[in-house]
Structure 1
Amino acid sequence: MTRLERFRSEVPQPDPDRLRANEDRLLAAIAQDSRRLGQDAEGRPRRASLRLRRPAQGARGRARRTASRLRRFGLVTGLAAALAAGVVVVATRRADPPAVIRPMPAAASEVLTRAAQNATRTPELHPEPGQFLVYESRTMDPATGEDRAGRPMRYLSRAVRKVWLPVDGDATGGFIEEEVLEPKPWPGWPIPPEARENLGRHGPSKLADFDDRAEFLRNDYAYVSRLPTDPRKMYEHLYTQLGNTRQDDTDAWDRVRGLLTEAYLPAAQRAALFRAAAAIPGVVTVEHAVDAAGRAGIAAARVDPVLGQRQEYIFDRETYLYLGERSVVTDAARAGAPAGTVLTSSAQLSVSVADHGPSAAARD
């Protein structure tokens, strides 16, 4: 399946406008043939049970999905007649209602579009089953709770992480090594003594031996290497089980983060992800953004009105290589911090392939 998914992935995506025009001609031919097939030689309606009077919801919908699949292999042009015959066969069967698919709007983010164009220009990793993908990163995250006296506390925890994740997606086989750094204060709050108790290096140790995410939220290599290379299909993947509200757009934008953080997508899937993310409504450009390692770049961002924060994905200004992400307060009342405060931040320092996880001696 991985080989099939990568088939012709190196071929540049054809022009969307040309494909759309071909698809419209194909569907028009299918609809015309469907109407003819609903009559006998003298123009009278057939008594067969073919339901072809509403091609926009039945045969037309199936034809659109078939055309989309064929478009991935460049086979749309010239197949209208064959597909029309195929639709007749399908129409004679009782089928479940098709899933509601949200169409992908035109891309609005130039940053992500350029990141997609540059996705194939960096050296590609080719991990194999049994190996590990090794991620090194720097992070800052909010920490909240109560101290030993039961008083509320807030601060920003910081760490340098090294994570080994199995290529085959085995949730029980991962490891982590972490160096806890000096915390930073949450604006207006003192740093509690508890924040400094675990300073220093820890591990390597095993990660949690379970993964309770839904299947479509997985980000291990075995799964993401089979994700669509067509931006429209990737867009549909980001909106799996989501609707058409502003909050659904926010959730889809957050799912992009799940495919960028401690995850590695092949170049074809990575380009499709960036093009799909560029079309999520509400995405804006932040000209100046800094990741957790202090590297300056340009960001594609979207405001979460519920949290009162702007979620930014940061890219190198020259190469458009992904650097990291951060969240910046836009609504002080909702976020509980002054506008402009950076509450979360990360920097992806390196991604590599290893034949083995950390040694038993290192884990001890």
Structure 2
Amino acid sequence: MNDLEELGAFRAQVPEPGPERLATGRDRLVREARGRRRVLVAAWRAGLAAGVAAAAAAAVAAVALDGTDSASPPVAARPVSATRILERAAETVAGRPDRRPAPHQWVYTRTYQAGMEGAPSAMRHLESWVRFDGRETARYDAGPGRKPRLVVSRTVRDGDAEERSPAQWYDYLRALPDDPAALLAKIDQRAASYNAENGGRLYTGEDGRDQWVFGRLADFLGQGPSTPDSRRAAVFRALARIPGVQVKEGTRDALGRPGTTVSRTGRDGERLEFVLALGTYDYLGRRIVQAEEQRLPKLPGKRGGPEIIRAGTVMNEQAVEVSAIVDGAGRRP
């Protein structure tokens, strides 16, 4: 059975949120592409990846550490069976025990962020701390000529269900079904209600819904210590049931680390990818790629023809350098 036959044998009941509100995210990307500004994906949830990219990021304070650049490696063209590789990933992580961090412990995350190719850099390496119970966040504040100073802040939430603390994300994900079909059905319910709440702007049509759930599952994998290992297996198996999912081996993430890329391209020509580490299938990061050439409308008063985003352009990407539990704000693993 070839890859197309394997994919065709499955039918996903479908979805939940993609690269963080995929539809609105796409609008933002197009607007920023016009101005050639860097598109930044939030750290921590994106996930990590997103990351990726996401909800816990609202609770995370981040600080730019340096301006080091890193070339965006191309995705290697060595497709393999999505169902076979994702099942292997599920079997690899299924036996790992769940370990829920203590409420007073902190989630430390260091990420690499990059925006659209050719645009000026805004931020590169970010690090952040958030207490597992979500009550506090921390960051290093380094002003001109000043020694970096750790700033710890109380967290204020606006009540949005998606603005969860790391502990709330852990409990939410831990309660999801083990069965991949049941998992997709549950996310599908959330997708429909969330899309309705947003006036149908998150996605349109069945393909848009599939793209949204693909991104949502990638977000789940990118939650770092807030994703119970027992749920990663169900997520991998659920991903294999979504039509159009592709897997390529011999790829690299935004930092050049070798891995396996899982991707899906929507009908709008936007490809969402996330990278898994070799052997462990840990989440390394994500990128959004313009898979098809896109012509942007000419801006009033601007000389020349319409701006063109070439096929293969990396719109933004993120790599999770470190994501771990530490015993206090400002500490590193």
TM-score range (shorter-chain normalised) is 0.5 to 0.7
In structure 2, C-alpha distance between the alignment counterparts of 1:354 and 1:256, rounded to whole Å: 26
Aligned runs of 1:153-232 on 2, under 5 Å?
154-155=119-120, 157-168=122-133, 170=134, 172-176=135-139, 206=153, 209-210=156-157, 213-214=160-161, 220-232=169-181
1:282 alignment counterpart? 244
Work out which of the residue numbers 104, 109, 127 in structure 1 matches 2:101.
127
Paired residue secondary structure (1:240): helix
Q: 1:268: how far off?
A: 0.6
Residue deviations 1:124-155, cap 9 Å, x none?
Answer: 64412222222222121349xxxxxxxxx954
Amino acid at match of 1:160: H
Matches within 5 A, 1:228-239: 228-239=177-188
Match of 1:313 in 2: 274
Q: 1:326 to 1:227 in 2, by over 3 A?
A: same
Give yes or no for the alignment of 1:137 onto 2:111. yes
- Pick one of 242, 250, 253 that aligns with 2:191: 242
For residues 258 and 141 of structure 2, the distance between their equivalents in structure 1, rounded to whole angstroms, comes to: 24
Mapped to 2, the partners of 1:225 and 1:206 lie a distance apart of 28
Does the aligned pair in 2 maintain the 1:304–1:310 contact within 8 Å?
yes
Aligned to 2:5: none
The equivalent position to 2:234 in structure 1, one of 272, 278, 281, is 272
The answer to whether the aligner puts 1:251 opposite 2:212 as a matched pair is: yes
> Residue 302 of structure 1: SS of its match in structure 2?
strand
2:328: which partner in 1? 356
The 3-state SS of whatever aligns with 1:255 is helix
Q: Match for 1:304 among 258, 261, 266?
A: 266
2:136/2:152 contact within 8 Å kept: no
83, 90, 96: which one aligns with 1:109? 83
The CA deviation string for residues 217-262 of structure 1, in whole angstroms up to 9 with x for no partner, is 8863243233333322322233233357111111111112322334
Sequence identity, in percent?
Answer: 27
Tell me if the contact between 1:156 and 1:343 (Cα under 8 Å) persists in the aligned partners: no
- Alpha-carbon deviation of 1:347? 1.6
Unaligned ranges ≥5, structure 2: 1-80, 193-204, 297-307
Identify which of structures 1 and 2 has the higher relative contact order when contacts are C-alpha pairs closer than 8 Å and 6+ apart: 2
Residue range with higher mean Cα deviation, 288-297 or 229-238: 229-238
Q: CA RMSD in A?
A: 3.7
d(CA) in 1 for partners of 2:122 and 2:141?
12
Q: Are the aligned partners of 2:112 and 2:319 in contact in 1 as well (CA < 8 Å)?
A: yes
Letter in 2 for 1:356: G
Task: Give the whole-Å Cα distance in 2 for the aligned partners of 1:222 and 1:155.
Answer: 39
Given the alignment of the two structures, is residue 291 of structure 1 paired with residue 250 of structure 2, yes or no? no
- What is the total number of aligned residue pairs between the two structures? 223
- Greater radius of gyration (CA): 1
TM-score by length of 1: 0.52
Give the alignment's TM-score, normalised by structure 2: 0.56
Give distance in 2, aligned partners of 1:139 and 1:270.
24
